[in-house]
Amino acid sequence: MSHECQCNNDGTVEETLDVLEIPHTVRHAAILGALAALPVKGSLLLKAPHMPNPLLSEVKDLEGEFNHEVVKDGPEHWLVRLRRAA
C-alpha cells in the first residue's frame, strides 16, 4: 500500500508518539491530527504520563472508527495503542 506523499511507508511500522514531546497548548490537536492521518488498519502507540481518557473521548468525534488497547497501565507512564478500524 502506498499513499500520496510517495514516502514508501507501507503503514506496517507502528510509530510511538510521546505526548510529553508535544507542547501542551497543541497536544490534543496534534495527536488528533496524527490519528486522522492513519490509514485503515493503521495504528499509533501513544505514550502518556496518565491514562488519556479526555483524549479518548475526543477520538470518538474523528471521522472513521477507532479502537484502543491499553498496552501499559502506569504507574510511570501509560502506553495506549490506537488503531483505525475503518
Q: Give yes or no for a contact between 41 and 85, defined as CB atoms under 8 angstroms apart.
A: yes
Place of cell 500520496: 4
- Contacts of residue 49, defined as CB under 8 A and 6 or more positions apart, other chains included, come to 19, 20, 77, 78
**Cell numbers representing residue 11 in the block:** 503503514
Predicted pLDDT of residue 1: 40
CA distance 47 to 76: 10
Asked if pLDDT for residue 73 goes beyond 90, the answer is: yes
pLDDT in tens, 13-50: 788 999 999 999 999 999 999 998 999 999 999 999 99
Predicted pLDDT of residue 63: 75
Q: Report the percentage of the chain scoring pLDDT > 70.
A: 86
Produce one character per residue of 23-32: b if its CB has 16 or more CB atoms within 10 Å, e if not. eeeebbeebe
Predicted pLDDT of residue 2: 42
Question: Which of the residue ranges 5-19, 20-34, 66-80 would you say has the lowest mean pLDDT?
Answer: 5-19
